[in-house]
A and B are shown apart, each in its own frame.
Chain A
């Protein structure tokens, strides 16, 4: 067992699970999607991204790419949320909620790919 691998796996899986937690629920119901969950998802995703820095292998490159995609989607969701609530003032209408959640759903897909790669890599190693 290797502590580095544990931390690495932990953050990747946690990113996916948090993302899922935020995503699940009626797509246009703001009550089902809590802002704290989005916050934690973004933080965990950023940490997972940094953990993937500096790996030169092909798999490492794909790992990093999926994380960057997830970050991009989640940050876009957060910015849209903040804009709707603070700048335009429309608040969390069903339309805004649906947009935010679908952005987060895209990020979740990237996170799922990341988890699949992680599993594939582990299976390849067979140790």
Chain B
């Protein structure tokens, strides 16, 4: 705020001095020039008080007339001069002030102040999103949908203006500025006690690195999620303890490998990391056999490494001649039929269109489909804005980096237990995952379920915690009754239960709960909200457990206690 006031004062110095001088000259003249009384005889001049009064209403063009008494001609002459002088003085001041308000630097300073103030006033937990391009916007929308606040720092001013037009429920403070500047990070609430985490998801990985370092140094206990493209930056981020590094190419390649090995495990992962309330993702079942990979950049490298780890033979198509040991390489562009045929497209089971050009990738996919209609097509979509084209061509599996990053961020941020669960799921057998998927589909048909972690402690599940601390038993199935009608079981799937260090996957309904247990539960949002209420609210909990509606107020509670006491 200070900077703006100082800037304003400095710019207004000249007009204010001009104004003071004009007032002084006018008043002095009026205090010196003799007046005239009603009989035409000379009278003493105006006092300073009357002169100030007269100049004030004349200068502001209010013009009450000749007060306190009619003027002499000498006074009128002087007044003519005063009128023109003061009008010029005021005009000069106002024009300077208006010019200042339209000044770009001034507006930027003002926007910064407003931003800092709205961040300071955030009373609820929030996340700091650095970079609000495709990825950041997706994350923002998802956070907004689950009712979590966030603050945006974005390099492009144009983009920040666009954010105002998005239909977000809560107001997200946004500032145009370089997230690499620690001062801006502080302004955006890095040191705010309610800051729950920082997402460094700009398209510039150096900037992400800078943000991650700044957060580590300035606020060591706030988690950072950073997006990286190259292995060197990932390693650098990991070296100082960035909590979660997301390399979309690597992640996608791992997913592809997982999908080849255990399609149902992969589908379960997709279902759980999807954006809640969106339609469930299509099942992908990539076949095993010969693969063709077009493009051998960072994405191509990651894909080939992943396919190698699953022992799938890979043929490469690259624009530049390439000789690699133990690898068939065809030189050419995959958009033409000739190199595709040479690479064996007619007998291959799958093709990866992985260049950094969306149009080329589509062209590769279309050509390959023509040559071999049954081929499995994996496509890399570089820009989310090309979704219409990619949707029109029914590919089997598409990587949209921004989407992948957003999903991963949301899943990690909102439910930390989920990452642990997914880590364990990846080690499971395919049929185990198929069973879990069947359960999830029965509670959330055709939709991505909402997932929530609930810890049985005093802040998250007060009623249940007090019940458990009194050494009373609580069975998982009882906790999951509906608190509007306890005979109905809430459509929820308990995925994992963590007790101290031990973990139970898919805990059965008869599991006895203990205080401090952490539960990971999936299902529709309404059911999750009800569960949360029954565990938190003593009356709802009592009803769920015993089927009685307990009296609420203390008078009725006291009466009920008296009745229950044996006489």
Contacts and interface: CB of A to CB of B under 8 A. Distances in A.
Given A39-B31, A46-B20, A47-B17, A54 B48 contact: no
A38 B28 CA distance: 12
Contact of B13 (A43, A54, A82): A54
Interface string A58-87: 000000000000000000001001100110
B48 A39 contact: yes
A69 B13 CA distance: 19
Given A39-B27, A43-B24, A47-B21, A53 B48 contact: no
Contacts of B9: 53-54
Contacts of A50: 12-13, 16-17, 20
Interface of A: 35-36, 38-40, 43, 46-47, 50-51, 53-54, 56, 78, 81-82, 85-86
A36 B48 CA distance: 8
A39 B49 contact: no
Given A53-B9, A54-B9, A56-B6, A35 B48 contact: yes
A46 B24 CA distance: 10
A78 B7 contact: no
B61 interface: no
A53 B21 contact: no
A51 B49 contact: no
Contacts of B6: 54, 56
A41 to B, nearest CB: 11
A85 B28 CA distance: 18
Given A47-B17, A47-B20, A86 B47 contact: yes
Contacts of B31: 35-36, 39
Interface in B411-436: none
B34 to A, nearest CB: 15
Interface residues of B, number: 21
B10 interface: yes
Interface in B1-30: 2, 6-7, 9-13, 16-17, 20-21, 23-24, 27-28
Contacts of A39: 24, 27-28, 31, 48
Contacts of A35: 31, 47-48
Contacts of B10: 53-54
B48 A78 contact: yes
A53 B13 CA distance: 7
27 contacts: A35-B31, A35-B48, A36-B31, A38-B48, A39-B27, A39-B28, A39-B31, A40-B24, A43-B21, A43-B23, A43-B24, A47-B17, A47-B20, A50-B16, A50-B17, A50-B20, A51-B13, A53-B13, A54-B9, A54-B11, A56-B2, A56-B6, A78-B48, A82-B47, A82-B48, A86-B47, A86-B49
Interface of B: 2, 6-7, 9-13, 16-17, 20-21, 23-24, 27-28, 31, 47-50
Contact of B17 (A38, A40, A51, A78): A51
Contacts of A36: 28, 31
B366 to A, nearest CB: 64
Contacts of A82: 47-49
Q: Closest 5 A-B residue pairs measured CB to CB?
A: A54-B10, A53-B9, A82-B49, A43-B24, A54-B9
Nearest to B52: A82
A78 B27 CA distance: 14
B12 A53 contact: yes
A82 B48 CA distance: 8
Contacts of B12: 50, 53
B103 to A, nearest CB: 15
A39 B28 CA distance: 8
B228 to A, nearest CB: 41
A46 to B, nearest CB: 5
A59 B306 CA distance: 67
Nearest to B3: A56
Nearest to A87: B49
A51 B24 CA distance: 16
Contact of B20 (A43, A54, A81): A43
Nearest to B20: A46
Given A54-B9, A86-B50, 7 more contacts: A43-B20, A50-B16, A53-B12, A54-B6, A82-B47, A86-B47, A86-B49
A93 B473 CA distance: 92
A24 to B, nearest CB: 20
Nearest to B15: A50
B16 A54 contact: no
A85 B13 CA distance: 34
Nearest to A43: B24
A112 to B, nearest CB: 22
B106 to A, nearest CB: 13
A38 B47 CA distance: 13
Contacts of B7: 54
A53 B17 CA distance: 11
Contacts of A46: 20
Contacts of B27: 39
B69 to A, nearest CB: 14
A121 B285 CA distance: 80
Contacts of B47: 35, 82, 85-86
A85 B49 contact: yes
B407 to A, nearest CB: 48
A82 B6 CA distance: 34
A35 to B, nearest CB: 6
